[in-house]
A and B are shown apart, each in its own frame.
Chain A
Amino acid sequence: MGFWSFFFILVVLGLSVHWYATNKALKLNAKLEKGSKLPSLPSYYGTYSLLLIIFPTSSLLLLWLVGKPFILEYILLQNIPEQLSANFDGAPSMLVDSIKAVDLERIFPGTNPLIVESATYFKDLNNYSNSFAYFSILIVAFLSSYFSLKKISTTFKARQAVEKSNINLLIFSSTIAIITTIGIIFSLIFEALRFFDEIPFFDFLFGLSWSPQTAIREGQIASQGVFGAIPIFSGTLLITLIAMSVAIPVGLLSAVYLSEYATPKVRQTFKPILEILAGVPTVVYGFFAAITVGPFFKDLANYSGFNIASESAIAAGGVMGIMIIPFISSLSDDVISAVPKSLRDASYAMGATKSETVKKIILPAALPGIIGAILLAVSRAIGETMIVVMAAGIAANLTANPFEAVTTVTVQIVTLLIGDQEFDSAKTLAAFALGITLFVATLFLNLLALKIVSKYRERYE
């Protein structure tokens, strides 16, 4: 039985069961007296029966799809001809892969006939087991619809059952966020652990030199890769620092001006303009940094007599700062507006000017919130990828000079993984080690910031 015929039968079954259950409930209701009608609306009985088909079948189907590869591989391994497995040098899993890769419609000439035989066997196995699985799932569906139709009576509360299952569905949707987080952690941790098998953890975290190229061929003469991430971390920090020194003053001053000085009309025009800045894709900022800002700084330096790289940290960091301005300004605008009016009024009543009120009363009162905003912005800057990929360097220099080229964690992840599909060398696995460092760092910053901000909210609410 193919998938689509299975699917078709299932759909027909579902629709007819829904129709039948609703009708049965309607008829039942018509027979009953006014006071003792069914506890739920008739359509709920239909929906209930339908759900009782959808849930078991979809979960069984999912189970089958996830479990099938493992089961089939196991059976295949048991049934590989002796001759084939004896003559194969690699691990059995590689043999299984090569059997599975055979396309029986178009067999490559020169393929081992035993492998073809196994592939035919595997294909048949696949077809039979699929048909079997679909057939059993259909039987389950029939059974459960029989059961649900049987259940329709004056005592059965269909609405409650339907709502409960719907709410369960909603809960499941909300847990996608948790599943994603778990998925991120697992996908990073497994590859990162493989990396740390080869490179000691502390060598990675505290090493001073980064040069991830390794030999590829047996017996090839090449350098051993060195994986000390300090130059990368320092580069990331340098660029973040530059970005923050642009974004914090501009963003904060804009926020203060907009919330304290600007007339409503000015506010209405400038706030959206700042939001445009936030909506510009980072690849556009990267292009701007690489084509306009980088050469600008280079020309400036050439003009004043010294030489700098066109991928200088200051170009990438400065443009990243521009990107982050709206982030800081809108978040600080919110916290500044949340400072109670009474504090302001008290300050004005004492004769303070507006700027004195801002500096001495409002900013100190809003400080926790502003710090939270800045932390979020820092986390954003650390994880920003496209600007640095396009405008920062690739070589890992350990320097604090903003006019030199430095590299960042995200740049390294991108350069290590683009083009290489082999997950067997320290070089590619290093990307995952960097990834988990990045994830942990941003997670820490985010949680801290969220905590500070929520504490701050509580204080004035």
Chain B
Amino acid sequence: MKKSSLAIVALAFAFSTESIARDQIKIVGSSTVYPFATVVAERFGKTSGFKTPVIESTGSGGGLKLFCKGLGTEHPDITNASRRIKSKEVKKCSENGVTDITEIKVGFDGIAMANAKSGPMLELSLKDIYLALAKDVPADPEGNTVKPNPYKMWNEVNPALPAAPIVVIGPPPTSGTRDAFNELAIERGCKKFPGRKALKKKDKKLYKSQCRSVREDGPYVEAGENDNLIIEKLVADPGALGVFGYSFLDQNRDKVKAAKVDGVFPEFEAISSGKYPVSRSLFFYIKNAHASVIPGIKEYVREFTSSKAIGSDGYLVSKGLIPLGESERAQFEKDGKTLAKFDAKVLK
């Protein structure tokens, strides 16, 4: 009978946890921003006296999906993204009552294509990437009609490339890196064909679906939301090429080496100056309704936007982040302090 009374206590204990107030920031989102956000969160937790935020790496798309689910303690307060929010997502957010959000840009990141150190040195053009990875490729040199992608070897795409099978390991659709890669590399390669470019004016929807879809017949392998895994696979298979952020490349210089894209290596200067073609901005979004309720959100944003974190000499820069210009950073620091409302009109 002592046992049953004990069981009652345990049960009561378990059920009384139903509505416990949350005093910890909850962050979800991009795996590219994740390593930066954890560093900021850790420093923030140690110096500010607030609890250290809990960060989960769900991918940009997955993060925004969770973020837009609504207001309330069970929903995340901040989501990281390695691409900008889409107007569809803004709509979804406001449907669920999340109307007041703030956008903070933290820096740039290049999308690198890299292979193992023991693999061959590659020089790719955007056109090569498009032809190797798109679902449909032009059937004629002008690009007026399309056929399913028949290429299996790199030298079929471009005779200058080695006669090796096309194997590209990249992120899944939940990832912002994937979205950015589709738009920045594949679509731009697609545009090199005049027939495709002409299609954009005629039928935008068809153009998007044909110029942005990645092949599903094997050469493009989707890895999970885990960049370490891509590195492991590249080391195991020197013939394979991986797609991931520059910051991750920087951390793994001892294992992989980058390919040139349009004649440029993904290097710090080349990305920050915009010479490297496949580069995008990194963001995070704050749910402003939460900022007055969950303790520490404003202070976390202050830490993340401070010059000591993302300024040109900031600690995130030594982790591989490519910093914004000083005036732009100052602007976002101000936005973060005032929690300026994001205007969806800037999205096309």
Q: Do A and B contact each other directly (Cβ–Cβ < 8 Å)?
A: yes
Q: List A residues at the B interface (Cβ < 8 Å).
A: 3, 7, 47, 50-51, 54-55, 58, 61-62, 65, 89, 98, 101-103, 105-112, 166, 169, 173, 211, 213-224, 307, 309-311, 394-395, 405, 415, 419-422
Chain A proximity mask over B1-25: 1 for CB below 8 Å, otherwise 0: 1011101100110011001010000
Which residues on A sit within 8 Å (CB–CB) of B71?
A: 101, 108, 110-111
B169 to chain A, nearest CB (A): 9
Please state if B86 and A61 are interface contacts (CB–CB under 8 Å): no
Beta-carbon contact of A101 and B62 below 8 Å: no
- What separation, in Å, do the CA atoms of A311 and B228 have in the docked complex? 13
What A residues does B65 contact at CB under 8 A?
Answer: 216-217, 422
Closest A residue to B210 using CB positions = A221
User: How far apart sit A414 and B307, CA to CA, in the bound complex (Å)?
Assistant: 39
A-B contact list, 13 entries, CB within 8 Å: A65-B11, A98-B72, A101-B71, A105-B21, A108-B72, A108-B293, A111-B71, A169-B1, A216-B174, A220-B179, A222-B178, A222-B214, A422-B66
Whether A222 pairs with B173 at a CB distance below 8 angstroms is yes
CB distance from B90 to the nearest CB of A (A): 13
A108 in complex: contacting residue of B8, B208, B290, CB < 8 Å: B290
Chain B residues positioned under 8 Å from A395 (CB to CB): 221, 223, 233
A173 and B4 CA atoms in complex are apart in Å by 10
Judge whether B212 and A58 touch: CB under 8 Å. no
Residue of B nearest to A112 (CB): B97
Contact with A along B266-296 (1 / 0, CB 8 A): 0000000000000000000000111011000
Say yes or no: B232 contacts A310, CB within 8 Å.
yes
**B8 in complex: contacting residue of A61, A112, A166, A311, CB < 8 Å:** A61
CB contact between A89 and one of B5, B12, B59, B95 (< 8 Å): that residue: B95
For B233, the chain A residues whose CB sits under 8 A away are: 395
A310 to B234, CA, bound (A): 11
Residues in A whose Cβ lies below 8 Å from that of B212? 221
Q: 4 additional contacts, CB 8 Å, given A7-B12, A112-B97?
A: A103-B72, A215-B173, A220-B173, A221-B212
- The answer to whether A213 and B173 touch across the interface, beta carbons within 8 angstroms, is yes
* Chain B: minimal CB distance from A156 (Å): 19
Return B13 CB to nearest CB of chain A, in Å: 10
The listed residue (B66, B88, B293) touching A218 by CB distance below 8 A is: B88
> How close is B187's CB to chain A, nearest CB, in angstroms?
11
One of A214, A311, A422 near B173 (C-beta < 8 A)? A214
Contacts of A213 in B (CB 8 A): 172-174, 222, 224
CA distance in complex: A109, B293 (Å): 9
A110 touches B99 (CB 8 A): yes
User: Which one of A216, A405, A419 lies within 8 Å of B56 (CB-CB)?
Assistant: A419
A-B pairs, top 10 by smallest CB distance, nearest first, are A101-B72, A222-B173, A309-B236, A213-B172, A108-B289, A223-B216, A221-B213, A106-B293, A108-B71, A213-B222
| A215 CB contacts on chain B under 8 angstroms | 173
User: How close is A110's CB to chain B, nearest CB, in angstroms?
Assistant: 4
Does B209 belong to the interface (CB within 8 Å)? yes
Task: Establish whether residues B61 and A217, one from each chain, have CB atoms under 8 Å apart when the complex forms.
Answer: yes
Q: Which of B133-177 contact A (CB under 8 A)?
A: 172-174
- Quick one: given A110-B99, A111-B97, A169-B3, are A420 and B235 in contact (CB under 8 Å)? no
Please, which residues of chain B bring their CB within 8 A of the CB of A106?
Answer: 21, 293
Residues 234-289 of B at the A interface (beta carbon under 8 Å):
235-238, 288-289
- Residues of A contacting B290 in the complex (Cβ-Cβ under 8 angstroms): 108
Kindly state the separation between the CA atoms of A459 and B99 in the bound complex, as whole angstroms: 75
Min C-beta distance of A378 to chain B, whole Å = 28
Q: How far apart are the CA atoms of A62 and B7 in the complex, in Å?
A: 10
- Considering the complex, give the chain B residue whose CB is closest to the CB of A405: B236
For residue B137, give the distance in angstroms from its CB to the closest CB of chain A.
Answer: 15
Q: Is the CB of A47 within 8 A of B1?
A: yes
Name A55's closest neighbour in chain B (CB-CB): B4
By a CB distance below 8 angstroms, the chain B residues around A420 are 58, 62
CB proximity of B112 to chain A, nearest CB, Å = 21
Q: B102 to nearest A CB, angstroms?
A: 13
Q: Beta-carbon contacts of B162-200 to A below 8 Å, as 1s and 0s?
A: 000000000011100011001000000000000000000
Question: How far, in angstroms, from A216 to B15 measured CA to CA in the complex?
Answer: 34
Asked, given contacts A101-B72, A105-B21, whether A58 binds B4 with beta carbons under 8 Å apart, the answer is yes
Cα A350 to Cα B7 in complex, Å, equals: 64
